[in-house]
Amino acid sequence: MLSSFFSGISGLMSNSHSINVVGNNIANVNTVGFKSSRATFEDVLYQSIFGSSGSSQVGRGTALNSVDTLFTQGSFESTSEPTDLAIGGKGFFIVRSPENSTKYYTRAGQFRFDKEGYMTTPAGYVLQGRAIDRTTNAPVGVSKDIVISPEPSEPRATQKIGMAVNLQSNAEWKGSVGALSATGAISSITASEGKYPRAGDYTAEVTGNTLKLTVEEKGPDGKTTGKTKEFTGTIVGGQEYKDWQGSGLDLKINSAISDGTQNFTISGFEYKYESATKNATATSNYSSSITAYDSLGQAHVVNVYFRKAYEDDNDTSVWEWMAVLNGNDSVTGKDTLVDWGNLKFNQNGVLISGGDPVTVVFNFSQGAIQNQKIELIFGNKSGGGASTQYPIASTTNFQSQDGYPPGVLMNITVNGEGIISGHYSNGQILDLYQITLANFNNTQALRKEGGNLYSETIDSGPAYTNAPGEGGLGKINPNSLEQSNVDLATEFVKMIVAQRGFQANSRVITTTDEVLQELMNLKR
């Protein structure tokens, strides 16, 4: 009879524990990342008794078997904060204690940056992740504190300039014909209309009625290119010749022809400003400017000029390009022709040579690393297609360069793979860290530490870590918080059941007391 007292007491204690669990669940119905618990009971201490039909057992009550955590997914609440993070699936955020190196685990993703740039929980626990290498753009090393410095991002010196232009096929010839060095068979030389005589030093040799016109070509830098071109033909005294022998020159011949040699020069591009007719703009057909950056991230204007040089014998057009630095962008303090080259187009206006990357060495203004190598690309590898030559106005269809100045951090974003990216004032988006997630073989054995934190135990096993979305771990939902998974309707039902269980067990105790009272009354 007395054992029923203890059975009733065990029922009271177990149901009171159940009410405690329900009360804790309801109290945390609005706690971010909270996982509800449930109490489970077990029967205990059976006593064997003997009756007429044989041996039987009578129970001695109940006991609390376990309080299990239900790690079901909670719903997501959208927020405006990019550092509010939720895990869609399995896994925990790893955070470090601000006081030591102890690691804890949480589903609550309310993170923020402290004054030193550490990404922390409201209580100051530091989020863990792997740094991303700037060269490979992949996470490296082991997980460590995520700290984003407010310092400016590093600049990047320009290494490549891509430019796709259309150059007007019938552009005006830009050049000038110098004076003849002496009197002789030729009285005057002018450029033919619509033609493109080559720039260089010319020698006109007359023998009898034969004129041999030889040009030693010069580039935009004023130096000879090593190429020569000869035009040979018969001349008659007193005659005028248009585009003589395809040279692009109109000749006037004196009435009396005598053997002899005359020299003259045809000038082309002039990068220095000397007069209104002798400067880069006046001696080129088209120009396009682009900003490049030195090793310090300082901006410099690179001017690229284009001049139609000549039309070849096979009806191809040759253009010269010239890269020029203004004096305030050059280490010399003077306008500088950095380099030049040729672009060759066929009769269809298609670029057939000269468009591949050309390495040009720039010496920008002092303070930065000198001899900076930049690839100039006018062909298909420019990033915007190849340059063309059509009979429409010259224009720049595409241009780009890969350098940038230092940038100030404006904001950060986090993607589903846990990549934390910094958005900088220079327009660059740099991947900085990847958040590391953890999970356990036995999550039920994790120890609850309060403050939305769990800690590892022997029974839980060691944490296994991976990137979000890898190894069975969930992905990150940015601008979201995981809500408590407490179901109020279920908790209210459990509360009623626990209350009735407590009430019924109390009745067992009072009933047993009354029976014992009656037993005591038998002696009276």
Asked whether 88 and 415 are in contact (CB, 8 A), the reply is no
Does the pLDDT value for residue 293 go beyond 70? yes
Burial class (CB in 10 A: 0-12, 13-18, 19+), 38: middle
| d(C-alpha 71, C-alpha 91), whole Å | 10
Asked whether 405 and 428 are in contact (CB, 8 A), the reply is no
What is the CB-side half-sphere exposure of residue 81 using CA atoms within 13 A? 12
Length of the chain: 524
Does the pLDDT value for residue 79 go beyond 70? yes
Q: What is the pLDDT of residues 118-159, one digit of tens each?
A: 999 999 999 999 999 988 989 999 999 999 988 888 899 999
Query: What integer pLDDT is reported at residue 162 of this predicted model?
Result: 97
Instruction: Considering only the C-alpha atoms of the chain, give the largest distance between any 2 of them, rounded to a whole number of Å.
Output: 170
Query: What integer pLDDT is reported at residue 5 of this predicted model?
Result: 60
Query: What integer pLDDT is reported at residue 48 of this predicted model?
Result: 59
Average pLDDT, the chain: 91
Judge if 80 and 144 occupy the same domain. Answer: yes
Residue that terminates a domain, selected from 252, 267, 282: 267
Judge if 224 and 164 occupy the same domain. Answer: no
Q: 52 CB contacts (<8 Å, ≥6 apart)?
A: none
Asked whether 401 and 291 are in contact (CB, 8 A), the reply is yes
Asked whether 446 and 440 are in contact (CB, 8 A), the reply is yes
Q: What is the pLDDT of residues 2-21, one digit of tens each?
A: 566 667 677 778 778 888 89
| d(C-alpha 324, C-alpha 302), whole Å | 6
Judge if 164 and 150 occupy the same domain. Answer: no
Judge if 314 and 381 occupy the same domain. Answer: yes
Judge if 312 and 347 occupy the same domain. Answer: yes
Higher per-residue pLDDT: 79 or 514: 79
Residue 444: name the closest of 1, 28, 40 by CA: 40
Query: What integer pLDDT is reported at residue 396 of this predicted model?
Result: 97
Give the model's confidence band at 52: pLDDT under 50 very low, under 70 low, under 90 confident, else very high. low
| d(C-alpha 374, C-alpha 502), whole Å | 83
Q: What is the pLDDT of residues 439-449, one digit of tens each?
A: 999 999 999 99
Judge if 373 and 476 occupy the same domain. Answer: no
Judge if 366 and 443 occupy the same domain. Answer: no
| Domain contains 491 | no
Does the pLDDT value for residue 202 go beyond 90? yes
Give the DSSP H or E segment for 504. Answer: helix 488-521
Mean pLDDT of 39-54: 69
| d(C-alpha 251, C-alpha 233), whole Å | 12
Q: What is the pLDDT of residues 426-476, one digit of tens each?
A: 988 999 999 999 999 999 999 999 999 999 999 999 999 999 999 999 999
Which residue range(s) make up the domain with 476? Answer: 76-154+408-482
| Domain contains 291 | yes
Asked whether 486 and 29 are in contact (CB, 8 A), the reply is yes
Judge if 345 and 419 occupy the same domain. Answer: no
| Domain contains 490 | no
| Domain contains 363 | yes
| Domain contains 488 | no
Give the model's confidence band at 519: pLDDT under 50 very low, under 70 low, under 90 confident, else very high. confident
What is the CB-side half-sphere exposure of residue 229 using CA atoms within 13 A? 20
Query: What integer pLDDT is reported at residue 509 of this predicted model?
Result: 73
Q: What are phi and psi of 244, to 5 degrees?
A: -60, 120
| Domain contains 70 | no
Q: What is the pLDDT of residues 162-172, one digit of tens each?
A: 999 999 999 99
The DSSP symbol for 389 reads: -
Give the DSSP H or E segment for 187. Answer: strand 186-191
According to DSSP, the β-strands at 336-345 and 453-455 are unpaired
Task: Report in angstroms the alpha-carbon separations of 366 from 156, 157, 295, 371, 379.
Answer: 17, 14, 11, 11, 32
Judge if 295 and 377 occupy the same domain. Answer: yes
Residue that terminates a domain, selected from 212, 245, 267: 267
Judge if 330 and 393 occupy the same domain. Answer: yes
Share of the chain above pLDDT 90, in %: 77
> Looking at the whole model, is its pTM more than 0.85?
no
Residue that terminates a domain, selected from 377, 401, 425: 401
Give the model's confidence band at 198: pLDDT under 50 very low, under 70 low, under 90 confident, else very high. very high
| Domain contains 113 | yes
Q: What is the pLDDT of residues 345-383, one digit of tens each?
A: 999 999 999 999 999 999 998 889 999 999 999 999 999
Does the pLDDT value for residue 188 go beyond 70? yes
Asked whether 7 and 504 are in contact (CB, 8 A), the reply is no
Judge if 397 and 340 occupy the same domain. Answer: yes
Judge if 394 and 283 occupy the same domain. Answer: yes
Asked whether 318 and 342 are in contact (CB, 8 A), the reply is yes
Number of domains in the chain: 4
| Domain contains 396 | yes
